[in-house]
Amino acid sequence: MRYLLTGGAGFIGSSVIRHLIANTSHHVVNVDKLTYAGNMESLLEVSNSSRYAFERVDICDAEELERVFSTYKPDVVMHLAAESHVDRSIDSPAAFVETNIIGTYHLLEVSRRYWLKLSAAKRGTFRFLHVSTDEVFGDLGQARERFTETSRYAPSSPYSASKASADHLVRAWQRTYGLPTLITNCSNNYGPYHYPEKMIPLMILNALECKPLPVYGQGLQVRDWLYVEDHARALCTVMEKGKPGETYNIGGNNEKRNIQVVEEICDLLDLIHPASRPYRSLIEYVDDRPGHDYRYAIDPGKCHSELGWSPSETFESGLRKTVAWYLDNLEWCRRVQEGKYQRNRLGISGAE
Ligand code: NAD
C-alpha cells in the first residue's frame, strides 16, 4: 500500500513513519512544510529506505498537493500536519486557523478529486484518516465521566477550536460527498523525539540543567497520557480495520495530575541521574494558562473492543523509556534547542 502522510516530520508523524517502514511493507510519502516543529533528524533511520519519500509541501497549497497526489498515487491518506502547541495558539492563533482549518479543507478537496478519479475497486479501499485530539471535547471539570465518541464538542483554546473545525469538515466530506474518512481523537502523547517546548521533555531537559521546572497554577490539571509508539500503532490499526464514517477515541487509561507527572520525572531522574539535591526542589508554580481546561479523560473502549488495539506501555514503563531516551539523545535535543536541526531541511544526514 502507498501511504500519503502529512506532518511526518513532527513528533507523532515521525513515529508513525518509523513504525510503517520498520514493521510493514508499505510505501510512505511524507508531506510536510517543515515549520519549527518539523525535524528531519527524527527520520534519519528511515531516510535511506526505498519505501520512503519526502515532499516539502504546505497543505494550504492545493496545486502542490495535486502534484504530490498524481506523482505518488496514494492508496490512503493519514493527516497529521497541524499547528499543535496550545500556548502558541493563544499568542498567535492565525497559523492555527490557516493550517488546521484551511489546510485540512484543501487536503480534503484534493483527496476528493483524486478519489473520484480512482477505479471503482480503488475507490472502495481508499481511506482518509484525520488525526485529532481529545481537546475538542473541552473541559470535563470535576465531572467523573470520560469522553466517548459521542461526547459534545466544546473546545476552549484556539488550538482545540481549530482542530474541532477540522473534525467537522472531515465529517461533512464523508456525509456530503461520501469520501471514506475516519477520525481519531487521542489524549496527550509523550515519548522520544518530542519537541522540547512540550511539558514532559521540557521538565526532563530543564531538570538536567538544574533550571526551574515551571508548573501551571497548582499543577492540579488532569490529563490522560499515551506513549507515542502506542498511538502510532493505534493509527495504523484504525487505518487497517476502522469503518469509514466512524470516530475512534484513543487513550492510555493513564490519568495523572500535571504535578504528579513532574514529580514522577524528578523521582526517576533522582534514581538514574542523581544530582546534588533532589530534582523536586526545582519545581516552581507559575501563573496558570488562560482558559486552562481542568480535566480531559478518554474512554478508549471502542478501539479496544472493535479493533483489538490496546497500549503496550503503562505510564511508568513509558516514562522510564522516555527519560532514558532523552538522556541518550542529548545531542538531538541540543540541536533542536539551538535551532540547528532547521538547517537540515532536505533530510541529508549530518548536513548543517
Ligand atoms: P507536531 O507539532 O510535532 O508536528 C506537526 C507537523 O506538521 C510538523 O512536522 C510540521 O512541520 C507540520 N506542519 C505544520 N503545518 C504544516 C502545513 N501547513 N503543511 C504541512 N505540514 C505542516 O505535532 P504532533 O504532536 O506530532 O501532532 C500531530 C497531530 O496529532 C496533530 O494533528 C495534533 O493535533 C494531533 N494530536 C497530537 C497530540 C499530542 O499529544 N501531541 C495528541 C492528540 C492529537
Q: d(Cα 211, Cα 207) in Å, to the nearest integer? A: 6
* Active-site annotation holder among 159, 193, 195, 248: 159
Chain-centroid distance of CA 116 in Å reads 29
Asked if pLDDT for residue 342 goes beyond 80, the answer is no
- What does the chain come to in residues? 352
Q: d(Cα 321, Cα 338) in Å, to the nearest integer? A: 24
Q: d(Cα 293, Cα 272) in Å, to the nearest integer? A: 33
Asked if pLDDT for residue 326 goes beyond 70, the answer is yes
pLDDT at 344: 58
Is 296 within a domain? yes
DSSP secondary structure code for residue 102 in this structure = I
The atom number, within ligand 1, closest to the CA of 186 reads: 43
Is 247 within a domain? yes
341 CA to middle of ligand 1, Å? 17
Task: Supply the CATH number for residue 107's domain.
Answer: 3.40.50.720
Does residue 189 have its Cβ closer than 6 Å to ligand 1? yes
pLDDT at 338: 87
154 CA to middle of ligand 1, Å? 21
Residue 56: CA atoms inside 13 Å, Cβ hemisphere, count?
9
Percent of the chain with pLDDT over 70: 97
C-alpha cell at position 331: 545531542
The atom number, within ligand 1, closest to the CA of 79 reads: 32
Is 111 within a domain? yes
The pTM (predicted TM-score) of the whole model is 0.95
Rounded mean pLDDT of 332-346?
77
Is 351 within a domain? no
pLDDT at 343: 65
Does residue 38 have its Cβ closer than 6 Å to ligand 1? yes
Q: d(Cα 106, Cα 65) in Å, to the nearest integer? A: 8
Q: d(Cα 205, Cα 219) in Å, to the nearest integer? A: 19
Q: Supply the mean pLDDT for the chain.
A: 95
Domain span holding position 242: 2-343
pLDDT tens for 237-293 read 999 999 999 999 999 999 999 999 999 999 999 999 999 999 999 999 999 988 888
pLDDT at 176: 98
Number of domains within the chain: 1
53 CA to middle of ligand 1, Å? 18
CA distances from 183 to 120, 255, 337 (A): 23, 22, 33
Is 285 within a domain? yes
Asked if pLDDT for residue 19 goes beyond 80, the answer is yes
pLDDT tens for 157-209 read 999 999 999 999 999 999 999 999 999 999 999 999 999 888 999 999 999 99
* Residue 90, burial from CB neighbour count under 10 angstroms (0-12, 13-18, 19+): middle
pLDDT tens for 147-158 read 999 999 999 999
Q: Nearest Cα to 3, choosing from 25, 26, 33, 19?
A: 26
Is 348 within a domain? no
Rounded mean pLDDT of 112-124?
98
pLDDT at 64: 98
Is 352 within a domain? no
Ligand 1, atom 25: closest residue by C-alpha = 11
Is 122 within a domain? yes
